[in-house]
Amino acid sequence: MAENILELCNITKTFGNLIAVDNVDFTLKEGEVHAILGENGAGKSTLMHLIYGLYQPTSGSIRVAGKPKIFKTPRDAIANGIGMVHQHFMLIENLTVAENIALSVVHRRVREGQALALRVKRGSVRDFYPAVREGQALALREPQGGEEHRGTQVREGQALALRTQGFQFKKADAVKTTEALSEKFGLAVDANALVGTLSVGLKQRVEILKALAGDARILILDEPTAVLSPQEVDGFFTILRNLQADNRSILFISHKMNEVLQISDRLTVLRRGKNVYEGDTGELTARELAREMLGEEVREVVREERKPAPEKVLHVSELSVRGSRDELAVADVSLTTHRGEIVGIAGVDGNGQRELAEAIMGLRETSDASTVEILGKAPRGTKATRLLGVGYIPEDRQTLGLIPSFSVAENLELSVLHLKQYGWLLPQKKRKETALRLIDDYDVRPPNPQLDAGALSGGNQQKVVLAREMSPEPELLIAVNPTRGLDISAARYVHQNLLAQRNRGKSVLLISTELDEVLQLADRLYVMTNGKLHEATSHRNDIEALGLLMTGGST
Amino acid sequence: MIKRWLGMPALILISAFATNGIIMLVCGYNPLEAYAAALGGAFGNGRKLGETLVKSTPFLMAGLSVAVAFRCGIWNIGAEGQFLIGALAATWFGTKLAPFFPAIPWIAVPLCLCLAALAGGIWALMPAFLKVTRGVNEVISTIMLNYVAIYLVSFMVDSGPLQEVSQRGPQSDRLVEWVFLPRLFPPHRIHLGIVIAIVLAAILTFILFRTTFGYQLRAVGAGAAAAEAAGISIVQNTLRVFFISGALAGLGGAIELMALTRRLFLNFSPGYGYTAIAVALLAKLHPLVTMAAALLFGALTTGSYAMQRSVGISDKVTLVMQATILLAVLGYGSAKFLKDSTIRKQ
């Protein structure tokens, strides 16, 4: 196939001590669909953001169509024909489809027009049109820099020509442009519909149209199928094929193995920021790819086998929960944990883990058939659940785990269980001592209990949540991604602590996207995909089978 | 710490006074002379200071009401209405019920105050219920209820059931003497209500920052989702905040009535409940600091009388002054605060 339209050479990106992308080489060919596979935190999104100009590489170089480029902002990337569709749509809900698309174009034109007007130095609007004509003439004049250069000049000339009419917004034109685009690529969407009324799949089309309206030659799609229903996925694949037929290149991030195998021409696997595999689709089987994705890790914490006590601590049956988009986020889940047992749930983000945890904590409405029993009782509401002695480390520490404007000390007592122990007065001396002790135990930095929690770094905020929820040794601990954002030594401390609680007869439900963590700690193991729970204890030594379960394949 | 607390209000006051000085200069008055007169009028001697305290009390009570609500994440703009409803309840008790009571102030006065607080609290529970059951924004509902309260008062005292028996003017009868709030140094107007307000400010500070009850109120205000995950009930605490806030404002209305005016009339409140928002924001929503802010607004009132007497500046200047302070508060102080809290709400 054709030439390399995008080349990354020795790209490294660090955030503080964290190496998010580690010396990655990568090429994208013209007209191919290229999939990026990897676990959460493998560096996929960071890599895409580097290409799209949201981040700048710490070292290494990026070439677009053979020419070295540095993108300081997404604007630069767009100007070079790179478009990105984010997982969270950037659309204005109460404008129509055509207006949304026109907005991105008009916006760009105005900026370009301003820049041009400045360049002409006279600065007044009246001089703008002569400048544009000049620009057109310039573009059409005999090219000086060979074939490549000619292409850009012609495109620039076209843009300039468009600009002369594009200064005032004409709704009819916007509709026409939108319809032309949507017809060309088979992206059927009603140009006059309000974006807010569209389904998720259609919104995604609008996003793609927006990128195409910006004349994107390279389209980056961040987990495009995560939000789509199976029927919509088929339609989406047709769109990709149409784009490919127009010789556009597509880079897409996915966790779903079968989709990747179905649609991509080539694929790249990232693990811990490194490019561990790049090749044509079909070279490796799904099992082999899963192995590349997950790797084989040295297990650091030793879990001795123990028989859990027969007593049930958490008993969930037929639990169904609707998510924020009214989709069935948790589908008919049954689950039991016992004393002295860690039950692990592995899985890729967004498969219903968050909703499951929140439903157990009484924070979400559940279907009528659902039952959640804790220590033989069915608590109603979060307060009752907490008072039974349940600790909860939520996925979202910023809004669910902490109050940023409260001090660290105040956040360390943010649970009805603590408050109940206090009685009606806050015991000044005791709370200060407790705060200092926990800050010391969990190594919260800076060690100042009076500091606003919002001023701490993400990892230290997580430590505050962990200290609060784990230190009282709850009968049941619901831990969602407990070590996210922690460095290795802090994570190991948490792992040891979880095991110690288990050995003392407490029960832990560990929900994590880190497969290693679950494998290291859990006595029994499940994988959650699409809201369903799959028993996976028997696959504990078969990492390929686990990978397949996590990516929605069957074993 | 102290520097952080004082820095912003000082800046706000300096710019407000400077702006106002320019306005006076433009109008042909000497601002220094005027401010000197105002200062003398507000704090010149014990009697004047006492009068300033008297004028500060409604600002303090309504200011506490607003400070507690805002601090707990409830944007109660309804202090004005709650203030009036408190006064209305006290009027009803003091003119219709108390005559049948034994003439013992020690029983009648506390009873009347409690009734007023209860009335203000229940009035505030209306928007609270709308908020927790239907998600109605309390800014809108409390503002609308202010008008309901204002017109309810005018109906009651103007040809309504609480109008004076002689039906001469749009006002109620005088309260019976045994529900008067006692004056501390008669004939001066300094009254027991001032003490009550100061004690309440201290108690509120204690409750908010030293008890688990207050902790929960603040937690729901500062981070509702996190509070809920911690097992703290949002509904319960929202209702509590509304009730406390309304009760404080209602009590303020009753104190003003029972200590000073002793009868209810049209325009009983010159907008105390609205000015209280400026008072509370200037105090950074801290009950103890609200005392200082209320004193400032009281001093502006008494000071403006003095300016009028000795320099001839209209007392409308007070309103301009209040407005400039409010604008300065919005400009400097609360801009960041408001921004933070909206982000948190989302």
Query: What is the sign, positive or negative, of the torsion defined by CA atoms of A405, A407, A410, A412?
Result: positive
CB-based contact B230 A416, cutoff 8 Å: yes
What is the per-residue pLDDT for A165?
Answer: 44
CB-based contact B227 A424, cutoff 8 Å: no
Q: Which residue has the higher pLDDT, B10 or B55?
A: B55
CB-based contact B223 A404, cutoff 8 Å: yes
Stretch B201-206: mean pLDDT: 96
Q: Residue B230 is nearest to which of A415, A422, A425, comparing CB atoms?
A: A415
Stretch B305-318: mean pLDDT: 81
Q: C-alpha distances in angstroms, B19 versus A387, B13, B29, B295, B333?
A: 56, 10, 14, 21, 17
Average pLDDT, chain A: 81
Q: Which residue has the higher pLDDT, B260 or A142?
A: B260
Substitution target in A324, A396, A403 with the highest count of B β-carbons within 10 Å is: A403
> Which chain B residue is nearest to residue A396, measuring alpha carbons?
B226
Q: What is Dmax (Cα atoms) for chain B?
A: 62
Substitution target in B4, B215, B343, B345 with the highest count of A β-carbons within 10 Å is: B215
Stretch A476-500: mean pLDDT: 84
Of the candidates B199, B322, B324, B325, which has an alpha carbon nearest to the alpha carbon of residue B251?
B199
Lowest mean pLDDT among A208-217, A379-388, A506-515, B337-346: B337-346
Tens of pLDDT, residues B255-293: 999 999 999 998 899 999 999 998 998 888 999 999 999
Residue A393: its H or E element: strand A390-393
CB-based contact A400 B225, cutoff 8 Å: yes
Q: Chain B closest CA to A299's CA: distance in Å?
A: 33
> Which chain B residue is nearest to residue A361, measuring alpha carbons?
B229
Tokens 């607390």, residue? B5
Stretch A213-239: mean pLDDT: 80
What is the per-residue pLDDT for A97?
Answer: 86
CB-based contact A392 B213, cutoff 8 Å: no
Tens of pLDDT, residues B131-167: 999 989 999 999 999 999 999 999 999 888 988 888 8
A424 touches chain B (CB under 8 A): yes
Q: What is Dmax (Cα atoms) for chain A?
A: 85
Query: What is the sign, positive or negative, of the torsion defined by CA atoms of B285, B291, B292, B293?
Result: positive
Strand bridging mode A82-85 / A266-271: unpaired
Query: What is the sign, positive or negative, of the torsion defined by CA atoms of A406, A410, A412, A417?
Result: negative
Q: Is the pLDDT of residue A519 over 70?
A: yes
CB-based contact B212 A406, cutoff 8 Å: no
- All residues at 6 or more sequence positions from B263 whose CB lies less than 8 Å from its CB, including other chains: B91, B164, B171, B172, B173, B174, B175, B257
Chain B positions in Cβ-Cβ contact with residue A361 (cut-off 8 Å): 229
Confidence of residue B226 (pLDDT cuts 50, 70, 90): very high
Bridge partners (DSSP) listed for residue A82: A218
CB-based contact B230 A386, cutoff 8 Å: yes
Lowest mean pLDDT among A94-98, A168-172, A298-302: A298-302
Tens of pLDDT, residues A267-312: 999 888 888 888 898 888 887 887 888 776 545 567 777 777 888 9
Tens of pLDDT, residues B99-109: 888 888 888 99
Stretch B210-235: mean pLDDT: 93
CB-based contact A399 B231, cutoff 8 Å: no
Q: Which residue has the higher pLDDT, B40 or A123?
A: B40
Stretch A228-241: mean pLDDT: 79
Q: Is the pLDDT of residue A78 over 90?
A: no
Q: Chain A closest CA to B289's CA: distance in Å?
A: 19
Tens of pLDDT, residues A56-74: 898 999 998 888 888 888 8
Q: Is the pLDDT of residue B177 over 70?
A: yes
Phi, psi of A142, deg, nearest 5: -55, 125
> Which chain A residue is nearest to residue B219, measuring alpha carbons?
A403
Tokens 């509401």, residue? A381
Q: Residue B215 is nearest to which of A363, A394, A426, comparing CB atoms?
A: A426
- In this structure, the number of other CB atoms found within 10 A of the CB of residue B151 comes to 11
Task: Please report the beta strands in chain B, taking only residues with DSSP state E, as ranges in sequence order.
Answer: none
A461 touches chain B (CB under 8 A): no
Residue B341, burial from CB neighbour count under 10 angstroms (0-12, 13-18, 19+): middle
- Between CA A46 and CA A341 the distance in angstroms is 36
Tens of pLDDT, residues A421-458: 888 888 989 999 999 999 999 888 788 899 888 888 77
What is the per-residue pLDDT for A19?
Answer: 81
Bridge partners (DSSP) listed for residue A343: A509, A524
Chain A positions in Cβ-Cβ contact with residue B232 (cut-off 8 Å): 383, 416, 419
Bridge partners (DSSP) listed for residue B191: B183
Q: Is the pLDDT of residue A233 over 50?
A: yes
Helices (H), ranges, A216-350: 230-245, 257-263, 286-294
Of the candidates A389, A384, A398, which has an alpha carbon nearest to the alpha carbon of residue A464?
A398
CB-based contact A419 B216, cutoff 8 Å: yes
Q: Chain A closest CA to B232's CA: distance in Å?
A: 6
Q: Is the pLDDT of residue A118 over 60?
A: no
Chain B window 90-129: which residues touch A at a Cβ cutoff of 8 Å? none
What is the per-residue pLDDT for B60?
Answer: 97
Task: Count the helix, strand and coil residues of chain B and give each as a percent rounded to the nearest 5.
Answer: 75, 0, 20
CB-based contact B223 A406, cutoff 8 Å: yes
Stretch A401-407: mean pLDDT: 92
Of the candidates A353, A293, A259, which has an alpha carbon nearest to the alpha carbon of residue A44?
A293
Tokens 């400070």, residue? B67
A405 touches chain B (CB under 8 A): yes
Q: Which residue has the higher pLDDT, B246 or B159?
A: B246
Q: Chain B closest CA to A419's CA: distance in Å?
A: 6
Q: Is the pLDDT of residue A148 over 60?
A: no
Chain A window 370-399: which residues touch B at a Cβ cutoff of 8 Å? 381-383, 385-387, 392, 394, 399
Tens of pLDDT, residues A328-359: 889 999 999 999 999 999 988 788 888 999 99
Q: Is the pLDDT of residue B218 over 50?
A: yes
Q: Chain A closest CA to B131's CA: distance in Å?
A: 19
Whole-structure pTM over 0.80, yes or no? no
B226 touches chain A (CB under 8 A): yes
Q: Is the pLDDT of residue B342 over 80?
A: no
Give A142's Cβ-side CA count (13 Å radius): 1
What is the per-residue pLDDT for A138?
Answer: 47
Q: Residue A415 is nearest to which of B231, B233, B340, comparing CB atoms?
A: B231
Chain B positions in Cβ-Cβ contact with residue A382 (cut-off 8 Å): 228-231
Q: Is the pLDDT of residue B118 over 90?
A: yes
Q: Which residue has the higher pLDDT, A413 or A255?
A: A413
Q: Chain B closest CA to A310's CA: distance in Å?
A: 29
> Which chain A residue is nearest to residue B218, measuring alpha carbons?
A406
Confidence of residue A18 (pLDDT cuts 50, 70, 90): confident
CB-based contact A400 B229, cutoff 8 Å: yes
Cβ–Cβ under 8 Å, residues B151 and B225: no
Helix axes B46-71, B287-310, angle to 10 degrees: 140
Q: Chain A closest CA to B219's CA: distance in Å?
A: 7
